[in-house]
Amino acid sequence: MSTAEHAETNRRDFLYIATGAVGAVGVALTAWPFINQMNPDASVLALASVEVDLAPIAEGQEITIKWRGNPVFIRHRLAAEIEAANKVAVTDLKDPLARNANLPDSDPATDANRVVGGKEQFLVMMGVCTHLGCVPIGNEGEYAVVEGNTKHGGWFCPCHGSQYDTAGRIRKGPAPENLAVPQYAYLSDTKIRIG
């Protein structure tokens, strides 16, 4: 191969590599807006965590807040609700796992593992039925505690009949899992941060 032919080969190789590099950069620049639009917008990022003051929630009362577009139930449970939840053996549960984002995945669904920080009076969990994503109704179902004519705790999903006990554990119906407990932590005795 002569020097002229060798120079021509090197020039051709350089042109192929340069053209490929410019093409790759062009594809990346063209694709970036489509990839970037899949990122969450500012309103979702602002809700990445939310603080909730528990002090105004009276014993036996439940509030629902929105977090990341989903309902979160926060219930100040009565002693009778906690006692009813503690009486249930994990082996009697349809889903034996705690489903608590604050604990290891394999932890059992005891009442103590469904709350955080040893504050069993406050139950915080996602208000989304694990069957088809409906929102269960509070203070309903066979597993609510009845005092007089009033039901306390327990959740019933009217769409397909799933029933959850006073710790948010699935007891009856088609739902396969307990209501999920989100990541949360106590900032003080009466304030939590979810997320």
Cite the active site residues: 160
Quote the tokens at residue 136: 């269960």
Report, in angstroms and rounded to the nearest whole number, the Rg of the chain calculated over CA atoms: 27
Compute the C-alpha angle 141/145/149, nearest 5°: 90
Asked if 179 contacts 128 with a C-beta cutoff of 8 angstroms, the reply is yes
The per-residue DSSP string of 34-51 comes to: HHHTTS--HHHHHTSSEE
The per-residue DSSP string of 101-143 comes to: TTS-TT-B--SGGGSSTT-TTEEEEE---TTTS--PEES-STT
- Report the Cα 47 to chain-centroid distance in Å: 13
Helix, coil or strand: residue 61: coil
Distance in angstroms (rounded) separating the CA atoms of residues 183 and 42: 21
